[in-house]
């Protein structure tokens, strides 16, 4: 009986919080629109993903540094809102960009690391995607002593050529099922790409598949020699042929804010400051 009462109390409190948020939370943020509201607050609130190193994790990373540089350009302070990705990207956009969440509060001003993709943009009619600032892709880091050359995934179908990937991420899913599951026996899953790279450096793997930025950062973190470990693109029809552009997202009505941030981002690109932010993490900057 006591447990049942506690559960009922928890549910009622949750409903109360939701009701208060619906009736009061969003209204304050709508008193002033768009850029005027942000300027009046003096702070740019930016949502960034957790577990997305080197771009962002626990409020630190490339995306956070870019957001700080953008806020500085606009004469604003920065409030970082780290969050864990939901089951679908649409959920992230709803919770962080255009509606908010009854526990986390109203939406952030912008979301970093949003794919600037025609299909996604057409699907998400509540969201404005803008200002792509880099391009990422799926690459393979390999031990060049064990694999001097690599122009296909065929070597990973042979016994002993273990390749690591982040569990449930695109590289892992592809390696597990592509080409009649030819690579499944050599696939080793890890919690993060960084852990997979560290296993490769210890000799447990001959290669790791992840995004280029993840691989370059992990190798830089471990001070791995470029003569011994090489990062390259390995084409496969199950992977995006040209990678994807990475930009920002905001509520569709925030057009002036997006224009201000786009101008600030252009200045970061042209001054070379954006490239320097990537360099600090051992990642090569690639224009979108």
Residue 145 sits in the same domain as residue 85 = no
For residue 204, the SS3 value is coil
For residue 151, give the CATH number of its domain. Answer: 3.40.190.10
Quote the strand ranges of the chain, DSSP E.
43-49, 77-83, 110-115, 127-136, 138-143, 163-166, 187-190, 207-211, 229-232, 244-251
What is the DSSP pairing of strand 229-232 with strand 138-143? Answer: antiparallel
How confident is the model over 60-98, as pLDDT tens digits? Answer: 999 999 999 999 999 999 999 999 999 999 999 999 999
What pLDDT, on the 0 to 100 scale, is given for residue 34?
A: 84
Which of 213, 232, 251 marks a domain boundary?
232
Residue 226 sits in the same domain as residue 105 = no
Instruction: Give the span between the Cα atoms of 47 and 56, in whole angstroms.
Output: 10
* Helix residue ranges per DSSP H, 85-129: 89-93, 118-123
User: Is there a domain that residue 84 lies in?
Assistant: yes
What pLDDT, on the 0 to 100 scale, is given for residue 105?
A: 82
Give residue 161's domain range: 138-232
Residue 132 sits in the same domain as residue 249 = yes
User: Is there a domain that residue 237 lies in?
Assistant: no
What pLDDT, on the 0 to 100 scale, is given for residue 32?
A: 63
Residue 107 sits in the same domain as residue 166 = no
Residue 211 sits in the same domain as residue 117 = no
Instruction: Give the span between the Cα atoms of 123 and 60, in whole angstroms.
Output: 30
What pLDDT, on the 0 to 100 scale, is given for residue 257?
A: 97
Residue 157 sits in the same domain as residue 219 = yes
User: Is there a domain that residue 83 lies in?
Assistant: yes
**Which residues in the chain come in under a pLDDT of 70?**
1-32, 102
Residue 42 sits in the same domain as residue 128 = yes
- Residue 163 in contact with residue 188, Cβ under 8 Å? yes
User: Is there a domain that residue 9 lies in?
Assistant: no
Residue 145 sits in the same domain as residue 68 = no
What total of structural domains would you count in the chain?
A: 2
Buried b (16+ CB within 10 A) or exposed e, 149-165: ebeebebbbeeebbbbb
Residue 55 sits in the same domain as residue 122 = yes
What pLDDT, on the 0 to 100 scale, is given for residue 178?
A: 97
Residue labelled with tokens 């809102």: 81
User: Is there a domain that residue 15 lies in?
Assistant: no
Residue 50 sits in the same domain as residue 80 = yes
pTM: 0.87
Residue 34 sits in the same domain as residue 128 = yes
Residue 31 sits in the same domain as residue 130 = yes
């Amino acid at each position: 009986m006591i447990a049942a009462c506690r559960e009922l109390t928890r549910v009622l409190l949750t409903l109360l919080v939701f009701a208060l948020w619906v009736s009061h939370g969003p209204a304050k943020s709508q008193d002033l629109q768009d850029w005027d509201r942000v300027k009046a607050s003096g702070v740019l609130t930016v949502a960034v993903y957790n577990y997305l190193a080197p771009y962002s994790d626990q409020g630190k990373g490339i995306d956070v540094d870019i957001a700080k540089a953008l806020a500085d350009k606009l004469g604003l302070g920065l409030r970082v809102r780290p969050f864990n990705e939901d089951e679908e990207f649409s959920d992230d956009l709803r919770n962080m960009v255009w509606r908010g969440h009854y526990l986390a509060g109203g939406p952030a001003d912008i979301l970093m690391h949003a794919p600037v993709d025609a299909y996604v943009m057409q699907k998400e009619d509540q969201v404005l995607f803008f200002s792509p600032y880099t391009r990422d892709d799926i690459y393979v880091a390999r031990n060049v002593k064990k694999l001097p050359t690599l122009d296909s995934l065929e070597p990973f179908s042979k016994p002993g050529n273990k390749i690591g990937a982040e569990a449930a991420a695109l590289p892992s899913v592809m390696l597990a099922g592509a080409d009649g599951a030819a690579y499944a026996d050599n696939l080793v899953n890890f919690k993060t790409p960084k852990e997979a790279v560290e296993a490769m450096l210890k000799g447990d793997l001959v290669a790791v598949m992840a995004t280029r930025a993840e691989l370059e950062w992990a190798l830089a973190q471990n001070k791995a020699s470029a003569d011994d470990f090489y990062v390259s693109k390995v084409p496969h029809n199950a992977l995006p042929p040209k990678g994807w552009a990475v930009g920002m997202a905001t509520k569709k009505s925030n057009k002036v804010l997006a224009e201000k941030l786009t101008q600030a981002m252009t200045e970061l690109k042209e001054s070379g400051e954006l490239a320097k932010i990537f360099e600090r993490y051992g990642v090569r900057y690639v224009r979108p």
